[in-house]
Amino acid sequence: MIRILSYVGLLVGLFILTLLIVTQGFNQIFELLFKSGFSLLLLPIVWLPSLIIAVISWHYLFPNKIIPPFKELFLALWIGRAINTLLPVATIGGEIAKARLLILWGKPATNVSASVLVDKTVQALALIPWAIIGVALLIYLAVDNKLAMLLMLGTLLLGLGITIFIFFQKAGIFSLVAGMVGKFNTSDNWGEIKLKASDVDKFVNEIYSNKKRFTISIFWRTLGLILQTSEVWLGCYLLGYQISIIEALMLKSLTSIITDIAFIIPNGYGIQEGGYLMLGVLIGLTPEFSLALSLATRIRELIVDLPGLLYWQYIEIKYYRKKDEKIG
C-alpha cells in the first residue's frame, strides 16, 4: 500500500513541478541557472557538514560499547539518505537500508534496529524547534502572520503525531506487530522472531531512558538542519540576489517543514518548489528566481545522492557474490 501511494505521490509531485516550471517561465528559470554555471557546484559542498553532523547525532543512539566506527555510520547514513531522496520509498526504505548495512558489517541486529527506529524519531523531533525558528522569523519579518499561525498549527499537529509514535515505541511496537502477524503465521521459528522483537523493544526503551544522550542527539540533528541554511543563502548569492541570513533561515526552515509534512511525495518534488515560490515572494524573490533557487539546491541530488545509490548497489552485489562463492 505504501509503495503504491509513493508511486502515486511521485507522479503527482512531478506533475506539480512541471506545471510550476511551465507556468512561471521555463526559459527565464534555466537562464538564471545557466548564467550561474559551475559555481552552483559549491552548494553540495556547503551542505555536506549537515550530513556529518547527522552522523554525530546518530552515534549517540548506540550503547557506548558497540558504537559503530564513524566510517560505517557515515556510509550507512549517506546511502540511506540517497535511497530516501531518489527512490519512491516514503522515507522508510532508506532507514531499512541503514540497518541492513550495519548488520552486514557485523553489528548486533537488535541494537541497530532500535537505533534506526529512534533515529527516525529524532529526525522528526528536530523538525519541531526547526519549525519554531522559521515561524518566529516569519513573524519577526512581519510578512505574513496568518501563514505563520497556520504553520504553527501544523507544527503542533506534527508534535502530537510524534508523541503518539513514541508512545507506541515505548509500548513495544515490534512485539505488538510480531504478535499480530504471529496469529496468522504458523512458522516454527516465529517464536524466535517474537523473542528478537522483544529484544529490540527493550533496547528502544533503553535509548529513551538515557535522556541525556537522547537530548544531545536531537540537538545535533537540529544544528544540522540550521546549517543547511548556508545552501539557500549561497544559492541566492550565486543566482544574483542577496538575502539576509534571517531571510535564508526562514525560507529554508519553512520550506523544509512543508516538504517533510508531504513525505508521501518522494523528495518533495513540486512541494519544495511550491514552498520556495510561496515563501520567496514574501521576501521579494520573483517566482522564476524562487524556482531556480529550488532547482539549484537539487544539484546536490546528482552530486551527493546519486553516487550513494550507486555505491549501495556495489555493496549489495559484492555481498551476494561472496554469498554465492560460499555456497558454491
Q: What is the pTM of this model?
A: 0.88
Place of cell 560505517: 72
- The domain ranges of the chain are 43-268+303-327
pLDDT tens figures, 106-150: 999 889 999 999 999 999 999 999 999 999 999 888 777 788 888
Return d(Cα 277, Cα 255) in angstroms, integer.
9
> What is the per-residue pLDDT for 182?
44
Task: Please provide residue 4's backbone torsions phi and psi, each rounded to the nearest 5 degrees.
Answer: -60, -45
Contacts for 2 with CB less than 8 Å, ≥ 6 apart: 90, 92
What is the CB-side half-sphere exposure of residue 86 using CA atoms within 13 A? 19
Radius of gyration of the chain (CA): 21
How many other C-beta atoms lie within 10 A of the C-beta of residue 258?
21
pLDDT tens for 39-80 read 899 999 999 999 999 999 999 999 988 899 999 999 999 999
- Closest by Cα among 251, 226, 231 to 127: 226
Give dist(CA 16, CA 270) in Å, integer.
5
Which cell goes with 139? 513573524
